[in-house]
Amino acid sequence: MVRKLAVVCLIFCVLSIVPENLYSARIKELADLQGVRANQLIGYGLVAGLNDTGDSDDNGFTSQTLANMLERLQITTERDEIEMENVAAVMVTADLPSFSKPGDTVDVTVSSLGDAESLSGGTLIQTPLSGPSGNVYAVAQGPVLVGGFSMGGQAAQVQQNHPTVGRIPGGAIVEREVNFSLPSTGQLSYRLGEQDFTTVSRIIKALNARFGQDTATARDSGGFQVRIPEEFAQNTIQFIAEVEQVEVRPGATARVVVNERTGTIVMGGQVQVDEVAVAHGNLKLQIQERPQVSQPAPFSMGRTVTVPRTQIGVKEEEAQMVVLQQGVDVSDLAAGLNTIGATPRDMISILQALKKAGALHAELVIM
């Protein structure tokens, strides 16, 4: 434990003496060009070819969909005679990338809607995919790849992952493109992935130093505009590429992210703590059930019975206290909590208490 703590402290010491310009990031990682984004598509269809793992006859919408599809193929059938063991109703979703052209392919996700046990081995029947406007932008079809399985009998069942969700790589063909074109003159609008006034200010300063004064202007904490210079009037793509390569040191936000379900704690480098004393102690409660069997004497009329016996033990460890000086950083905070033997679960409670006491100068995010 001491050796691991020493290695952690050494890493933080090395990071503290690294020049600030090594922490810079490209604008490509910090901001996105407005209008250049993916579009969500959705469709409803059927997966056929299942091995008795499809929807049951209780799902009326599945049998109705299958009957309608057969009628479009000029096959007349009675809906009461349709058996659904090999067919499942599914929702098909996909993301249409920006600048996609007719003939391009995109990946699709297939999710069961009814009570199908598995989509393994099934084939998605031709399914139109539409956007929020109702226009069809792609058509999906193909074999479904499932990263799990489900099998069993009357008394037991084994399942791994989610066999009712699968993917079709390149399973949708784009039939219509989303109308969007880059301007050759004027301004380009960017939105930051995380709003921050400091980051926007540094981006404006860096762009103006690279392309000339008044090239970039800030709109708010989450966005900025860039004027296309005259020398790039006929080459907007090259200008956008050069803008994306400009490096900026983002304004780091002091933040502590806590996941109580998994016990994961992530602390940013800007986290600071005021002088505070932390006491830590554990209460261990152990309960054991040791039933004893009472056996009657031979040839007696008594019965064999089980008498419950419960043992309860309580042990409370002595509380340990550590004093954190004012202005300590992440490495000091981690070292102090490790000194008192705090587990990740204990650290979560301690961090919440520090925030409540006003000693933790950082945003505490509970997931």
Using a CB cutoff of 8 Å and minimum separation of 24, what contacts does 16-25 make?
Answer: 20/249, 21/247, 21/249, 23/249, 24/247, 24/248, 24/249, 24/250, 25/247, 25/248, 25/249, 25/250
Residues 343, 262, single domain; the answer is yes
List the structure tokens of 31: 């901001």
Residues 47, 65, single domain; the answer is yes
**Backbone dihedral angles phi then psi of residue 19, each to the nearest 5 degrees:** -55, 150
Q: Please identify which residue in the block is written with the tokens 């008795």.
A: 52
In a domain, 23, yes or no: no
Residues 319, 347, single domain; the answer is yes
Mean pLDDT over 252-260 rounds to 79
Q: How far apart are CA 83 and CA 97, in angstroms?
A: 38
**Backbone dihedral angles phi then psi of residue 231, each to the nearest 5 degrees:** -70, -15
Q: How far apart are CA 10 and CA 8, in angstroms?
A: 5
pLDDT digits (tens, 9 = 90+) for 207-225: 999 999 989 999 999 999 9
Q: How high is the pLDDT of residue 307?
A: 66
Residues 209, 321, single domain; the answer is no
Q: How high is the pLDDT of residue 362?
A: 80
Question: Domain range holding 221?
Answer: 182-248
Residues 169, 55, single domain; the answer is yes
How many Cβ atoms from other residues are within 10 Å of residue 180's Cβ? 11
pLDDT digits (tens, 9 = 90+) for 297-332: 676 666 776 666 656 555 555 555 556 556 566 666
Q: Look at the chain and report how many structural domains it folds into.
A: 3
List the structure tokens of 205: 């300063």
In a domain, 3, yes or no: no
3-class secondary structure, 118: coil
Residues 116, 213, single domain; the answer is no
Residue 125, CA distances (Å) to 98, 108, 122, 232 in order? 26, 13, 9, 47
User: Closest by alpha carbon to 340, among 283, 287, 292, 279?
Assistant: 279
Q: Quick one: pLDDT band at residue 254, thresholds 50, 70, 90?
A: confident
Q: How high is the pLDDT of residue 37?
A: 87
Residues 67, 125, single domain; the answer is yes
List the structure tokens of 166: 């699968």
In a domain, 82, yes or no: yes
Listed in sequence order, the residues at least 6 apart from 69 whose beta carbon sits closer than 8 Å to its beta carbon are 46, 125
User: Closest by alpha carbon to 266, among 178, 364, 176?
Assistant: 364
3-class secondary structure, 16: helix
Residues 287, 264, single domain; the answer is yes
Residues 70, 166, single domain; the answer is yes
Q: How high is the pLDDT of residue 17?
A: 40
Residues 56, 73, single domain; the answer is yes
Q: How far apart are CA 126 and CA 92, in angstroms?
A: 11
| 2 has pLDDT over 50 | no
